[in-house]
Structure 1
Amino acid sequence: MKKAMPGVVALLALGALYLLVWPVPIAPLAWDAPNAPGYTGPHAVNTKLANLQMIDLKGEVGPEHIQFGPDGKLYTTVASGNILRMNADGSDQQVFVNTGGRVLGFDFDAKGNLIAADAMRGLLSIAPDARITLLSENVNGDPIRYADAVVVAKSGKMYLSDASARFAPKDWGGTFEASVLDILEQAATGRILEFDPATRTTRVVAKGISFANGVALSQDEKSLFVNETGKYRVWKIAVTANNLDLGTLAHEPSAQASVLLDNLPGYPDNLMRGLNGKIWLGLAKPRNPTIDKLAQKPWLRSLTLRLPRALWPIPKAYGHVIAFTEDGKVVADLQDPSGAYPETTAVTETNDRLYVQSLHAHGLGWLAAPQ
């Protein structure tokens, strides 16, 4: 035993040295995490999202965004880089195109082109014949590192979230891995961009966002609704804003930007316009008490990345989507505490169905629309 002790001590010392000084890719910043509200009030626990009916995606995974095209077909993006096209019931399923990247969000322009936010490539236009055109991959020479969501205005202008200016999915193992790094760091480098196809120029609408995610336009198209995933909130931002730093505005009134929904019970992901003025939002994961407790402990967040991935404080699976009005009133809340359909990102609403978007599901979930 005595002979073994020096070796044990040396191993313990090496382990401690590793935990203390091994390089990690993040430089965490302290921030003020609000006390989690829990599942109360409009978010009281329910099972309205349980027992979804499923459309088989034939081996594809992660219907991150779902939308009906001008041709009446249902389109969805999946993890393989494919964009699938099918009938509303999932029949006649086919691969419309593979971008060679990972499309997260998309919309259609007035000419029927699919405008895609590709996390690996930037902003793309995909013609009805599947021809791909790169619209924008940088802002004044600064790369778009993590294109996430996009919406097209009637003017033709396109509003795009660039989730992180620090962690590009193509460099850090994929979209999920890059998002974890960005949210752990809390450097708030996400931004909202505007691409004008008339001038082919890209500008920054707003910056200073902790993982800029879902984007939706107001009905009058004067404002953008934007999910700030890393800080559990939704912003309302004037489309006329220019290089507006939201990091300085969270607790100050502004004519150009304000927090519409704050201190949500989970991580807000996509935003989708629904029927009758609703906007659907998906909470991909619930809040994690450990993560909130580490908000003021950046060094411990660094240490987290030196642990095996199985020990990272990744929140549990919990299905949750909500709908709200433009004045911030929650009008629908659907949950599945079992998390059987994982990482719910939003809802695509039709007159008879609610299609549920997901980061990692192995099928396309749907339920009958409430009558």
Structure 2
Amino acid sequence: MMKLLSLVAISFALLFSLTDFSGERPKHGESMLTIHIPDFRLIPTTGASGPESFVFDFSGEGPYTGLSDGRVVKWLANDSRWIDFAVTTLTREGCEGPHEHQQTEHVCGRPLGLAFEKSTGDLYIADAYMGLLKVSPKGGVANQMLDEPLRFTNGLDIDQRTGVVYFTDSSSVYQRRNYIGVMMSGDKTGRLMKYDPNTKQVTTLLSNLAFPNGVVVSQNGDYLLVVETAACRVLRYWLNDTSTSKSRDNYDIFAERLPGFPDNIKKSPRGGFWVGLNTKHSRLTKFAMSNSWLGRTALGLPVDWMKVHSVWAKYKGNGMALRLSEGSGVISEVFEGNNGNKWISISEVEERDGTLWVGSVNTPFAGMYKI
């Protein structure tokens, strides 16, 4: 009995470590600027939650975002409302309406990463369950691009020079509705992949990654950046032979020891890259990351860790976003709410026309802030 109680106590400590109690702040960056947000606009996402990622089409309309019930919706700025644009599966019975979408997302789909292809106007979608999809500029039901089944498709970006799509498969063991298991188990079965629409070929660029998440092509197309969530770092994968990387695998570390668990990554028009941090670190998270056996032990207990984490996340908001410099990956800017206006989590920051669109996989709204 005492052993079981000890295991439960350790497990709860591990889970709660995913929520920050220390208020840790970034300590590096020569020109770090912290933005406190006393007042910004919240835009509810009607009927579902979790606007994880944003993208604008090449006419400047949008943004578009994916929601927890499997829809991709489009923001009409003139009307100040969202409209349905696409779905990632024809199976829609029981998907929409107010209920716990996490329980049905494996049936209804969960669109995460989004990117438009310039030459065709098609929207590519990384759906956690349905894989890599594409839908025409008119919207509708998206079509699957891959024959290979994927367990946890997550982030994507497109090299507009070649049309090649780069995307992540976060785990070959756990699905998105059990993503806490990826973090707690020390799973390293994730992959960085590419899809060439001309040849229809899929290639694995990097494997054995710890929860690969967001991916972005650099401004000049020389390299990719891919977020490794569980390792709290960003990797740089070189796409040409002019890199200074000496790694046999053609990649190096762009940024590491981030002050939380990074999610998506997007280019900033002011230079550099915005990285959303789902959760900031505490002393307990650091301890847990150094002792992965704790997580594996906790997963063996009869506890619904996803549910417990969801409840705690609602009351312990501590998301943050960082802008990393383009050359060195140094933190140059920080986005977070003040004490009375915290975010549960921040999945992504999309900067457009002097406005920051802030997404979170846990909230029923998107945030909009004028810089």
Same fold (TM over 0.5): yes
Partner of 1:168: 175
| Residue identity (%) | 24
In 2, Cα distance between equivalents of 1:85 and 1:146: 24
In 2, Cα distance between equivalents of 1:330 and 1:267: 15
| Paired residues of 1:137 and 1:144 also in contact (CA < 8 A) | no
| Paired residues of 2:32 and 2:333 also in contact (CA < 8 A) | no
Using the TM superposition, name which of 316-325 and 305-314 deviates more: 305-314
Matches within 5 A, 1:17-28: none
CA RMSD of aligned residues (A): 3.0
Partner of 2:102: none
Partner of 2:155: 149
- Find 1:135's aligned residue among 145, 159, 174: 145
Does 1:116 pair with 2:125?
yes
| Paired residues of 2:32 and 2:332 also in contact (CA < 8 A) | no
- What one-letter code is carried by the residue in structure 1 that aligns with 2:85? F
Partner of 1:159: 166
Does 1:301 pair with 2:301?
no
Change (3 A) 1:61 1:222: same
Matches within 5 A, 1:132-281: 132-138=142-148, 143-154=149-160, 155-169=162-176, 174=177, 178-239=178-239, 253=247, 256-281=250-275
Using the TM superposition, name which of 80-89 and 211-220 deviates more: 80-89
- What one-letter code is carried by the residue in structure 1 that aligns with 2:350? T
Query: Deviation above 6 Å: which 4+ runs of structure 1?
Result: 310-315
Change (3 A) 1:90 1:136: farther
- Find 2:359's aligned residue among 357, 360, 364: 357
Q: Which runs of 5+ in 2 are unaligned?
A: 9-22, 89-107
- Find 2:26's aligned residue among 39, 43, 54: 39
From the CA coordinates, give the structure whose radius of gyration is larger: 1
- Find 1:61's aligned residue among 35, 43, 49: 49
In 2, Cα distance between equivalents of 1:96 and 1:57: 13
Partner of 1:3: none
Partner of 2:112: 104
| 2:120 partner SS | coil
Per the normalisation by structure 1, the TM-score is: 0.78
User: What CA deviation, in whole Å up to 9, does each residue of 1:43-84 have, x standing for no partner?
Assistant: 979552443311122242111011111243211111111111
- Find 1:283's aligned residue among 277, 283, 286: 277
- What one-letter code is carried by the residue in structure 1 that aligns with 2:231? K
| 2:50 partner SS | coil
How many residue pairs get aligned? The number is 323
In 2, Cα distance between equivalents of 1:332 and 1:123: 32
In 2, Cα distance between equivalents of 1:271 and 1:182: 20
Partner of 1:86: 75
In 1, Cα distance between equivalents of 2:202 and 2:334: 36
Partner of 2:94: none
In 2, Cα distance between equivalents of 1:90 and 1:226: 36
In 2, Cα distance between equivalents of 1:82 and 1:312: 24
| Paired residues of 1:50 and 1:335 also in contact (CA < 8 A) | no
In 2, Cα distance between equivalents of 1:364 and 1:158: 26
Q: Which runs of 5+ in 1 are unaligned?
A: 1-11, 21-35, 242-248
